Structure 1
Amino acid sequence: MDRNFADPARERLLLDRYRLAERIGIGACAAVFRAEDLRLKRNVAVKIFSPGPTSWESELAILCRLQHPFLVGILDSGSWDDEFEGTRPFLVMEFIDGCDLRTLLARHPGGFTPAKTARLGWALAQGLDAVHSDGVVHRDVKPANILMGGSGLPKLCDFGVSRLHDGAEATIPGVTIGTASYLSPEQALGEPVHASADIYSLGLVLLECLTGAKVFPGSALEASIARLLHDPSIPEWIDTDWRQLLTAMTARGAAQRPTAAECGEALFELQLRQPAHAA
């Protein structure tokens, strides 16, 4: 993978407009670069997919229909014809000058204040409500896919494994898609996945933000099995209202979980109950 996205890609000009700079992320089938938009004189993020079959068309279709302040927006798309590797499609997205939530949590091993967690959760619930209202399931809500900009508010990114509710590829029976530590029980079982799976994952993210510890650590197999055997452990010191919300969000029965809109309302109320200096 590193060979496909090595340093020689730097300074390459895409669409006679986007000059690639340093690589800022890499995954199984794509790499993300910071780039300069020479026309509008601003930084953008360019996600370049590896040659061969990828999910880029699905991701493009989903991003084009999703516009929300708490979702990373798409700006352009195209293809890069490499004489050695073949055609590589790419997406141009807004650049978030900050870090992801995973990195931020590593800097705060004790977790965040309830006020900060409620504000972050409210924003993410708002973004997921827009996603779900447009018939999309993200399927990989986790700290690494939550970008934190200068405003302190998050933007959900990486819709590479997302699917439309009514899409023919919404679920492949018996196949698990997502990140083990944040999977819903139905994802761990390879069962049909709906919007409620994102709510479960968001509940795990918020619990991690409050405690500073991953709820289901260990190997992919250990983490997947753990959520099938027991519910997340919510420490007694967490406020009752928080406990009730997190318990509902991480219910093993998908139908028992609140919607993203309901989570947003509850998290907004939790913000209001916090002292002004507690952020």
Structure 2
Amino acid sequence: MSLVSSTVTADTVLAGRYRLTEVIGTGGMGTVYRARDEHTYRDVAIKLFATPQSMTHADRVRQEREIRLLSMLSHPGLIPLYDAGTHELVDGPHRFIVMELISDPTLLRRLADGPLHNYEVASLGAQLADALAYVHARGIVHRDVKPANILINDEGSAGFARTVKLTDFGVAHFVDGSRLTGDGTIIGTAAYLSPEQVAGESITFATDVYSLGLVLLEALTGKQEYSGTVIEAALARLQHDPEIPETVGSEWRDLLVAMTSREPEERPSAVTVARVLRGGASRVTGPVPLGRTRSSRSSHRAEHRLHRAAHRHTRRGTFDAVRRWRRRNTIVGSLAGIGVVAACFGSYLLGAAVH
């Protein structure tokens, strides 16, 4: 996609260093470009944010928070931040961030060709859960785990046949009691929202586990569980749990039922999900081994540190604990319940970040 903008041309060089070459994608808060770093002679990805005048206060806070978050994170399952700055264009100053350029397709694009094999889903799920455990240990909830934010590279690493990266921390949230928006505003993408996001309730690490569960279910079946309009998807997840077919197998079914429990405290931690998908249950992974290259002893130590740092508040469920979970089938039919969703829906249309 070529550069088409009244403010950005093929000759635009940010901070005297980054020459923009083409548009990769656009969103509500800015545009992502391929650029050439003229100091290191490598291609990079640059997210050029909109001008402050064109954004709401919440957008500006979210922009600075994304920069702060990315500067804190360094993990194989995340895209690293190289640089950040401000550049003056004809319409005013623009903040920008410089990241590793990843040209790989998204999981969304892969799923357009149909569902994945169970061992492929286990591999990508283990890597995503590892990445989530890492960010959770730093007090961060991603809040927008979805196929479009997951990149897949066919070159393997760390014992996996393919490398998976989680992207877009634009709506991520610190679990510190602060809020980016007013009460009732929905942040996230409709099809992958957790019940607590829909209801405007407190967001915890379990929110990401729920969304990941929906992503893994979709990867296994090729079917998006909660499709339709925002209000349809919101009401559907409050009225019924995801339909997990028997054909996925009992191990997958047990795990996904637990991950998509309507009660956040009943969901396993990201660390537990990663451990299970790395080979804790052979019928989940299938015939292709997913063992990691580092020793089991160092793997255990790293896993234990993540447990202590991020998941004291959650149950350390294994499949034995998963099987004890009792599915809840509370039907939300009261006017009060519909009123909550309707209020959230109105707020969602006015100002929520839906990608």
Note whether the superposition's TM-score is higher than 0.5: yes
Aligned pairs (5 A) from 1:210-229: 210-229=220-239
**Counterpart secondary structure, 1:237:** helix
Q: Which position in structure 2 is the counterpart of 1:29? A: 29
CA 1:150 to 1:18, structure 2 compared with 1: closer, same or farther past 3 Å? farther
Superposed displacement of residue 11, structure 1: 3.3
Contact conserved, 1:173 with 1:192, CA < 8 A, in 2?
no
- State the percentage of identical aligned residues: 42
Residues 20-29 or 117-126, more deviating: 20-29
Q: Which position in structure 2 is the counterpart of 1:184? A: 194
**Out of 287, 290, 297, which is 1:275 matched to?**
287
Q: Which position in structure 1 is the counterpart of 2:108? A: 102
- Runs of 5+ unmatched residues, structure 2: 156-161, 291-355
Residues 172-181 or 242-251, more deviating: 172-181
**Counterpart secondary structure, 1:276:** coil
Q: State whether structure 2 residue 139 is matched by structure 1 residue 139.
A: no
1:91-116 Cα offsets, whole Å, 9 max, x none, are 1011112111111111x22x000000
Superposed displacement of residue 264, structure 1: 0.3
Q: Which amino acid aligns with 2:144?
A: D
Aligned pairs (5 A) from 1:145-160: 145-151=149-155, 152-160=162-170
Q: Which amino acid aligns with 1:141?
A: V
Q: Residues of 1 paired with 2:8 and 2:89: CA distance?
A: 12
- The alignment of Structure 1 onto Structure 2 pairs a total of residues equal to 273
**Counterpart secondary structure, 1:123:** helix
**Counterpart secondary structure, 1:91:** strand
Q: State whether structure 2 residue 48 is matched by structure 1 residue 48.
A: yes
Q: Which amino acid aligns with 2:98?
A: V
Q: Which amino acid aligns with 2:71?
A: C
Q: State whether structure 2 residue 67 is matched by structure 1 residue 63.
A: no
**Counterpart secondary structure, 2:98:** strand
Superposed displacement of residue 61, structure 1: 0.7
**Counterpart secondary structure, 1:9:** coil
1:128-185 Cα offsets, whole Å, 9 max, x none, are 0001000001000001111123423211111011111115226632111100000000
Contact conserved, 1:118 with 1:271, CA < 8 A, in 2?
no
Superposed displacement of residue 7, structure 1: 8.5
Q: Residues of 2 paired with 1:180 and 1:125: CA distance?
A: 21
Residues 144-153 or 16-25, more deviating: 144-153
CA 1:74 to 1:237, structure 2 compared with 1: closer, same or farther past 3 Å? same
- Runs of 5+ unmatched residues, structure 1: none
**Counterpart secondary structure, 2:248:** coil
Residues 31-40 or 69-78, more deviating: 31-40
**Counterpart secondary structure, 1:120:** helix
Q: State whether structure 2 residue 89 is matched by structure 1 residue 79.
A: no
Which structure would you say has the larger Rg? Answer: 2
Residues 159-168 or 202-211, more deviating: 159-168
Q: Which position in structure 2 is the counterpart of 1:89? A: 95
CA 1:270 to 1:209, structure 2 compared with 1: closer, same or farther past 3 Å? farther
